[in-house]
Amino acid sequence: MQRSALPHTAARLMQSEVVRIHQDHLLVKEPGTRQATLWHQDQPHHNVSSRQNRSLWIPVDPVPLASTLRFVAGSHTGTWYVPRTFRDHQARWFPEGRLTELPAIDAEPERFRQLAWALAPSHCVASHMLSLHASSGIGPGSRRRVFSARYLGDDACHIPRPWRTSPAFAGRTERLPEEGAEPDDPLFLLVWPAA
């Protein structure tokens, strides 16, 4: 991860002197997956505060427009919305009234302008962790595998949340007990500048 071009790319996009990796994971939708990934933001799921952040979404397989990632233009600048589970639409880990209910985005295309692109392997989509995004299922003849990495910049600090966060980071609260603590910890590995 430290030797790839991704941390430097994230540094430039965030206009940040340093870059820490917060999370990386592989997202897989098997052929014929009908379940959509509902509209959501990533930021409420995390135990950090940062305006200088980026999620990089890099497909391993071709992603047609019908099953690509869609964004609501400009949504990274404002409201935090209640995350709900994808299967049963429950706000399972979030206290009632703490965050705003998600509006009916697909029902109001004039109000919520969507951005989306067909993607080839090694393309990269960069977004802010507050950007509203979603995707549809995929057709029967293809698999959709995507590598995703989330990076934090200069302004990042640790914020304990009163709800379950992802990743859970065992021992996080003992190692970073104070709200607003700089995430100077191996849990938030410094990946830029390169050593």
* Domain region containing 180: 6-192
So what's the pLDDT on residue 86? 64
Q: Which of the two residues, 194 and 33, has the higher pLDDT score?
A: 33
Inter-residue contact 132 to 38 (CB < 8 Å): no
The verdict on residue 29 lying in a domain is: yes
Q: Is the pLDDT of residue 101 over 80?
A: yes
- In this predicted model, what pLDDT tens digit does every residue of 41-88 receive, in sequence order? 998 878 888 999 999 999 999 999 999 999 999 999 988 887 776 666
The verdict on residue 154 lying in a domain is: yes
**Tally of domains in the chain:** 1
Q: In whole angstroms, how far apart are CA 5 and each of 21, 34, 40, 117?
A: 13, 34, 27, 22
The verdict on residue 112 lying in a domain is: yes
3-state secondary structure 93-150: CCCCCCCECCCCCCCCCCCCCEEECCECCCCCEEECCCCCEEECCCCCCCCEEEEEEE
> pTM of the prediction?
0.89
CATH of the domain at 57: 2.60.120.620
So what's the pLDDT on residue 77? 92
The verdict on residue 157 lying in a domain is: yes
The verdict on residue 150 lying in a domain is: yes
The verdict on residue 1 lying in a domain is: no
- In this predicted model, what pLDDT tens digit does every residue of 142-178 receive, in sequence order? 999 999 999 999 999 988 776 666 777 777 777 877 7
CA distance 78 to 90: 23
% of the chain surpassing 70 pLDDT: 88
Q: Which of the two residues, 97 and 113, has the higher pLDDT score?
A: 113
The verdict on residue 49 lying in a domain is: yes
The verdict on residue 90 lying in a domain is: yes
